[in-house]
Amino acid sequence: MRLRLVRLDAGTRSVAVQRDEVWVPLAALPGSEQLGSARSDLLALLGGGPELLAFAGKLVDAYRGSRNAVQELGGLPFHPTGFRGCSLWESHLVDSARALLQLRGGVLARVATGYERLAGRPFPPLRPRPLWYESPLFYTGTAACCIGDGDTVPWPAYTQALDYELEIGLLVANEVRDASPEEAMDAVGGFMLVNDVSARDVQYREIVEGRMGPGKSKDFATVLGPTVVTPDELMPLLGGLTAEVWCGGRLVATGCAAGMRHSVAEVVSYASAGGRLMAGEVIGLGTVPGCSGLESGAWVSPGDVLDLRAGPLGGLRNVIGEPEPSRRAAGKLPRARWSVVCRSDEEPDPRGVLAASWRPPPVPPLTGALSPNTLLDTVECLPLAGGDKPEDVVVDGAGRLYTGVEDGRIYRWPADPAADTVPELFADTHGRPLGLEIDPRDGSLVVCDAYRGLLRVSGGKVAVMADTYEGRRLRFANNAAVARDGTIYFSDTSTRFRIDHWKHDLLEHRPNGRIFRYRPSSEELTLCADGLYFPNGVSLTPDESALLLLESGTYQLSRIELVGAASGRRRMLTALPGFPDNLSPVGDDTYWVAVPSLRLPVFDRMLPVPLARRVVARAPSRLQPAAVRYGLVVQVDGSGRILRSLHGPAGRYAEITGVRQHNGWLYLGSLVESSVARVRLPA
């Protein structure tokens, strides 16, 4: 028998029984008053014994009246009193452990891969411990985190790697204690779909590093399906039950329940040993092999619609919520680099580089407007209270300063901040905020997030504007410029490498980058230019007829026409003395260029030699070319003429990636520092 809750036309809640793909509400049937509370209480019906269920079935079979459509209710189908989670499939444990090891990378991951290729069997440390084979082990969850069909799955602030786990759950309908395997099935009222949502990054730390748990990695969302199937119908099918996970209307994972290590009766018996199983408790049997993002590689993104299905258990549909903002304004967040917000349909980075030969232009001499000085060695630092690597800076119409740091948080200072001013936590993208701009229409913050795409932050809430183009995820949103009508131009630095492997894109030196235009009014994303070499900073001219663009890969400043017959034409303006990063307008057709690194002679010598760069790309990062500590920003005009430069040869504030002029100050962001800096702009 298949059961669920429905609502009648009069608003009455009722338990319904499925017959011929139609849900028949018990409360609408003649004679159903004899069921008492079981007409509207699914748990009461299941706990009433076989006779009560049989009587309900007879009422449904005997009814010959009209079977009008009813409203299928979402939410929880009953009030759960507890949750316990088992893991009964060895292949799931092995495959998920292997996937987690590969995500983290390192020597052990390479050793495991090599062993399995040679031995043709799982790497021994990936297999469960001996006790798992002896007993159906479980963790104890809480009923407070249970949600139902149609509810939004919360994304806690403390996790980056949210994952689904399609499970089959059994419902305890009658209290039981110290049940033998032979007695155990009398307590089971039915089975349902369960999504035992996991925070994978936290789970790893709890179990592997802390040797405890799972705890916080599990206690925020356990999703219970709306349909309960009685044991007599499901048990004969359990061993061959197939399951599917759909995300955004696309099939992303499949699995089969064959090969369970312990029986359902053994699970109930073990769980009830020495204690009570209460009516209303749900026991998850474990992830059906293949039905998690960790195994399938198909992770969910905020806003995705997730649909779990498994034969007679029906479907379970939920929306993945936006990551909650961190409330830890101070201190570093324990967010591992491998665990940034995973996105469905994300493509892995290439393992190697397809290096192309290129001969760099001569290095501009540091003379004239580029002559060295020590102005940037006198900066005043604005500490970030635990944040690192403030990539970019921007100032809004009220004079408030913003920056985004490596762990995803965005900070804001009040107008005219000083060294002792503590910034407030403004938002948390859970990704890596890079370029920041203010929308002139409403003052909202436009963010290029390297992992999540083009975002808008308003009132501290983060919303994705664009993160795909022609069905593929944007891989490296970097810097933006916002027109007066709200149109946004932004750089997507690489179609091949994400920010984690930004050096690989520079070493490859191929035209992997592009510029997009996004119109918020129509949510239209169009390609403005491609074939670019690590495009970075962008800025609109005062009349918005052209876009200025910095390409880190070629050290060049160029101009892209946006209107008229020449629209789309790109023209090189000038070569810079280093790797340019972000670009910001002053408003008078002059612009500030952040230069995090001077040209590297060893890198320039490798550019005409593809083999050398392929070898270097495989070397550890510490052995690859790296910037020396030096501070440099350059001011240019719309024709590319270099007007002046500010240097910091002592490296007090180094690798400057963001620069913004406001009220006689230059505000600076950096790829390596743990503060924003500012310096008085010389006359």
pTM to 2 decimals?
Answer: 0.87
Q: Mind listing the pLDDT tens digit for each residue in 194-238? A: 999 999 999 988 988 888 889 999 999 999 999 999 999 999 999
Cβ(56)–Cβ(11) below 8 Å: no
Q: Let me know if residue 558 belongs to a domain.
A: yes
Q: Let me know if residue 114 belongs to a domain.
A: no
Confidence of residue 419 (pLDDT cuts 50, 70, 90): confident
Question: What pLDDT is stored for residue 404 in this prediction?
Answer: 97
Cβ(616)–Cβ(625) below 8 Å: yes
Q: Let me know if residue 561 belongs to a domain.
A: yes
Question: What pLDDT is stored for residue 66 in this prediction?
Answer: 66
Query: Do residue 68 and residue 161 come from a single domain?
Result: no
Query: Do residue 494 and residue 630 come from a single domain?
Result: yes
Q: Which residue has the higher pLDDT, 348 or 601?
A: 601
Q: By percentage, how much of the chain surpasses pLDDT 70?
A: 99
Question: Mean pLDDT across the chain, nearest whole number?
Answer: 94
Query: Do residue 52 and residue 167 come from a single domain?
Result: no
Q: Is the pLDDT of residue 252 over 70?
A: yes
Question: What pLDDT is stored for residue 235 in this prediction?
Answer: 96
Domain limits for position 310 = 137-324
Q: Is the pLDDT of residue 330 over 70?
A: yes
Q: Mind listing the pLDDT tens digit for each residue in 88-120? A: 999 999 999 999 998 888 899 999 999 999 999
Cβ(465)–Cβ(520) below 8 Å: yes
Give the number of C-alpha atoms closer than 13 A to the C-alpha of residue 609, restricted to the C-beta side: 11
Question: What pLDDT is stored for residue 67 in this prediction?
Answer: 65
- If you average pLDDT over residues 602-628, what whole number do you get? 93
Query: Do residue 422 and residue 306 come from a single domain?
Result: no
Query: Do residue 149 and residue 233 come from a single domain?
Result: yes
Query: Do residue 379 and residue 312 come from a single domain?
Result: no
Query: Do residue 493 and residue 566 come from a single domain?
Result: yes
Q: Is the pLDDT of residue 590 over 70?
A: yes
Q: Is the pLDDT of residue 563 over 90?
A: yes
Q: Is the pLDDT of residue 336 over 90?
A: no
Cβ(287)–Cβ(87) below 8 Å: yes
Query: Do residue 604 and residue 673 come from a single domain?
Result: yes
Confidence of residue 385 (pLDDT cuts 50, 70, 90): confident
Q: Is the pLDDT of residue 328 over 80?
A: no
> Six-digit token pair at 391?
């990539």
From CA 171, how far away is CA 230, in angstroms rounded? 9
From CA 632, how far away is CA 369, in angstroms rounded? 12
From CA 398, how far away is CA 396, in angstroms rounded? 5
* Cα 349 → chain centroid: 16
Question: Is 249 exposed, middle or buried (CB count within 10 Å of its CB: 0-12, 13-18, 19+)?
Answer: exposed
Question: What pLDDT is stored for residue 68 in this prediction?
Answer: 66
Q: Mind listing the pLDDT tens digit for each residue in 148-194? A: 999 999 999 999 999 999 999 999 999 999 999 999 999 999 999 99
Any idea what the CATH number is for the domain that residue 260 is in?
3.90.850.10
Question: What pLDDT is stored for residue 63 in this prediction?
Answer: 82
Backbone angles phi, psi at 206, to 5 degrees: -65, -45
- If you average pLDDT over residues 312-333, what whole number do you get? 87
Q: Mind listing the pLDDT tens digit for each residue in 632-667? A: 999 999 999 999 999 999 999 999 999 999 999 999
Question: What pLDDT is stored for residue 213 in this prediction?
Answer: 83
From CA 6, how far away is CA 68, in angstroms rounded? 12
Backbone angles phi, psi at 538, to 5 degrees: -135, 150
Q: Let me know if residue 339 belongs to a domain.
A: no
> Six-digit token pair at 191?
């089975």
Contacts of 82 (CB under 8 A, 6+ apart): 140, 141, 142, 143, 278, 280, 281, 282
- If you average pLDDT over residues 255-263, what whole number do you get? 97
Provide the domain count of the chain: 3
- If you average pLDDT over residues 396-406, what whole number do you get? 96
Q: Let me know if residue 351 belongs to a domain.
A: no
Question: What pLDDT is stored for residue 660 in this prediction?
Answer: 98
Question: What pLDDT is stored for residue 470 in this prediction?
Answer: 94
Q: Mind listing the pLDDT tens digit for each residue in 508-539? A: 999 999 999 999 999 999 999 999 999 999 99
Which DSSP symbol is given to 326?
Answer: P
Any idea what the CATH number is for the domain that residue 391 is in?
2.120.10.30
Q: Which residue has the higher pLDDT, 683 or 678?
A: 678
Domain boundary, last residue among 72, 87, 105: 72
First to last CA, the chain: 83
Question: What pLDDT is stored for residue 310 in this prediction?
Answer: 98
Cβ(588)–Cβ(636) below 8 Å: no
Query: Do residue 388 and residue 294 come from a single domain?
Result: no
DSSP string for residues in 519-545: ETTTTEEEEEEEEESSEEEEEE-TTSS
From CA 536, how far away is CA 492, in angstroms rounded? 8
Confidence of residue 339 (pLDDT cuts 50, 70, 90): confident
Q: Let me know if residue 98 belongs to a domain.
A: no
Query: Do residue 319 and residue 372 come from a single domain?
Result: no
Q: Let me know if residue 550 belongs to a domain.
A: yes
Query: Do residue 383 and residue 317 come from a single domain?
Result: no
Query: Do residue 408 and residue 314 come from a single domain?
Result: no
Q: Which has the minimum average pLDDT: 69-83, 258-272, 604-618?
A: 69-83
Q: Let me know if residue 359 belongs to a domain.
A: no
